[in-house]
A = this chain, B = another copy of it.
Amino acid sequence: MMEVAMHQHLSTDVGFLLSRASGLVVRATNAALAEHGLRVRQYSVLTLAGEAERGVSQRELATLLGLDPSQVVLLVDELAAAGLVERRPSATDRRTNLVVATGRGRDVQERAALAAADALAGTLSRLDPAQCDLLRTLLAEVVAPAG
């Protein structure tokens, strides 16, 4: 098992391929999101904020995105400065900020989602829909334990 891994080529290493594919998608998506004034990380936060009616705490955002809470602070700062999200105090815990998308934030998110979907489709153009679903299922399983 280890011997096999040792003699495999880098071009067949799943870790390498994962990093390479991710890089391609992130690059293409950032390029597509630029005209909407967003980068991938901001788009992710904006999307999660829009999905939850009552908002999402920054702690939850950090967990969902696999980021350190301190990174979330800056992302929310940027989105708030652009008027795309708001920080609202939680009714039950005064330590907690609930991040909510504004009306304009939702509009921008919808248009940005189209651009991101196009960029993704371009990068995955060699996979048919069934293969995309399969890829999604496998990746979701890998990411699952991280929350």
Q: Judge whether A114 is part of the interface by a CB distance below 8 angstroms.
A: yes
Contact: A44 with B16, CB < 8 Å? Answer: yes
Contact: A126 with B144, CB < 8 Å? Answer: yes
Q: Judge whether A138 is part of the interface by a CB distance below 8 angstroms.
A: yes
Q: Which of A21-29, A80-88, A96-104 contacts its partner?
A: A21-29
Within 68-91 of A, Cβ neighbours of B (below 8 Å) are at none
Within 8 Å CB of A11, what residues of B?
64, 140
Excluding A2-B117, A5-B116, 5 further A-B contacts by CB distance (< 8 Å) are A5-B120, A10-B44, A19-B22, A127-B138, A127-B141
Please list the residues of chain A having a beta carbon within 8 angstroms of any beta carbon in chain B.
2, 5-6, 9-26, 29, 40, 44, 47-48, 51, 64-66, 110, 113-114, 116-120, 123-124, 126-127, 131-132, 134-136, 138-146
Task: Count this chain's copies in the assembly.
Answer: 2
Contact: A26 with B17, CB < 8 Å? Answer: no
Contact: B135 with A138, CB < 8 Å? Answer: yes
Nearest-neighbour CB distance to chain B for A119, whole angstroms, equals 8
* Smallest Cβ-Cβ distance to A41: which chain B residue: B19
